[in-house]
């Protein structure tokens, strides 16, 4: 969502707010249609099958997030520099040719639409998976909408990319949570029963956190050793 | 083709071995019906994936 805000700010400042905000609105409607279309379909799938598929997807998704966050935390991958991304987006948007469709600047519209839709698809995926396995997609959607509103309000107040947000720490936490729920649900969906029932989720969480921290420490040591050699 | 490419990138990402490891771990869990297979498989998959990325 932070990345989407950066793109929309760059688009709005250079190509005009009307086209950019129309792109944001169109992307929001498209994302709502994805959630509204897939949500009811997921509720008719048997819960164990749903947990297996959703858990497996969460796990592959979570491992992607965790892998990148661990590489950034250990210094092996550059941290996401929101100000640099913003400056690049501004340069690209300023030099792009102007083309109008239906009274809208097409570059500004598509830039905002793609930024919000592609970033929002991750959020929609999390809403659908968490909401469907817990039996309340609307509640999960309300939680996601609240987060979107909060980011938008902070962005409007700051009128600058959210460069001071501890983005990697947040992504690390999301990766840990997705991986934890992914392990828990997919194993249940595959027919395993966790000792202690839902309380085992905390043990899985602890395991994922400790293992991730150990990997960060190991990669940092390796980076230092390679640099010293 | 671009449609499938997009969903492949979205779900599998840039290390297909990690996704394959998850599938193998889940298949083993389903075959044995025990909880203790998946956590170490995921831990191993993550370590191997990071090792490949750090090379």
Residue B32: closest C-alpha in chain A: A192
Q: Which of A53, A183, A203, A208 to mutate against chain B (most B CBs within 10 Å)?
A: A183
Mean pLDDT of A205-210: 96
Q: Which of B42, B44, B53 to mutate against chain A (most A CBs within 10 Å)?
A: B42
Query: Which of helix, strand or coil describes residue B11?
Result: helix
pLDDT in tens, A25-44: 898 888 888 888 887 777 77
Cβ of A60 within 8 Å of Cβ of B34? The answer is: no
Domain that holds residue A198: 2-228
What is the number of domains present in chain A? 1
Cβ of B22 within 8 Å of Cβ of A60? The answer is: yes
- Give the rounded percent of residues in chain B with a pLDDT score beyond 70: 100
Our CA-based measurement puts residue B30 at a distance from the nearest CA of chain A, in whole angstroms, of: 5
Nearest to A60 among B11, B38, B54 (CB): B11
pLDDT in tens, A60-82: 989 998 998 999 888 877 766 66
pLDDT in tens, A150-181: 777 777 676 666 656 677 788 888 899 989 99
Query: Is-contact A173 A57, C-beta < 8 A?
Result: no
What pLDDT score does A89 carry? Answer: 77
Nearest to A204 among B10, B30, B39 (CB): B39
pLDDT in tens, A104-125: 788 888 888 888 888 788 778 7
Quote the pTM value: 0.73
Q: Residue B46: pLDDT band by 50, 70, 90 thresholds?
A: very high
Three-state SS string over chain A comes to: CHHHHHHHHHHHHHHCHHHHHHHHHHHHHHHHHHHHHHHHHHHCCCHHHHHHHHHHHHHHHHHHHHHHHHHHHCCCCCCCCHHHHHHHHHHHHHHCCCCEECCEEHHHHHHHHHHHHHHHHHHHHHHHHHHHHHCCHHHHHHHHHHHHHHHHHHHHHHCCCCCCCCHHHHHHHHHHHHHHHHHHHHHHHCCCCCCCHHHHHHHHHHHHHHHHHHHHHHHHHHHHHHHHC
Give the burial class of A34: count Cβ atoms within 10 A of its Cβ; 0-12 exposed, 13-18 middle, 19 or more buried: middle
């Amino acid at each position: 969502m932070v990345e989407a805000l950066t793109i929309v700010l760059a688009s709005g400042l250079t190509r005009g707010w009307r086209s950019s905000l129309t792109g944001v609105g169109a992307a929001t409607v498209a994302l709502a249609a994805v959630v509204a279309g897939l949500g009811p379909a997921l509720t008719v799938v048997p819960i164990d099958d749903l947990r297996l598929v959703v858990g497996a997807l969460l796990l592959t998704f979570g491992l992607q997030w965790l892998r990148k966050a661990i590489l950034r935390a250990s210094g092996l991958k550059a941290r996401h520099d929101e100000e640099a991304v913003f400056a690049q987006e501004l340069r690209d948007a300023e030099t792009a040719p102007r083309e109008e469709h239906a009274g809208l600047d097409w570059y500004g519209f598509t830039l905002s639409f793609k930024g919000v839709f592609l970033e929002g698809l991750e959020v929609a995926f999390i809403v659908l998976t968490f909401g469907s396995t817990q039996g309340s997609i609307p509640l999960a959607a309300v939680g996601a909408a609240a987060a979107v509103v909060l980011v938008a309000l902070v962005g409007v107040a700051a009128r600058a990319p959210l460069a001071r947000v501890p983005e990697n720490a947040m992504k690390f936490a999301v990766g840990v949570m997705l991986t934890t729920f992914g392990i828990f649900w997919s194993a249940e969906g595959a027919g395993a029963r966790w000792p202690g029932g839902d309380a085992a989720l905390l043990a899985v969480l602890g395991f994922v956190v400790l293992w991730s921290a150990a990997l960060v420490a190991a990669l940092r040591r390796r980076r230092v050793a390679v640099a010293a050699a | 083709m671009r449609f499938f490419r997009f969903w492949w990138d979205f779900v599998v990402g840039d290390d297909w071995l990690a996704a394959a490891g998850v599938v193998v771990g889940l298949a083993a869990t389903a075959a044995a019906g025990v909880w203790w297979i998946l956590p170490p498989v995921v831990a191993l998959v993550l370590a191997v994936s990071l090792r490949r990325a750090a090379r």
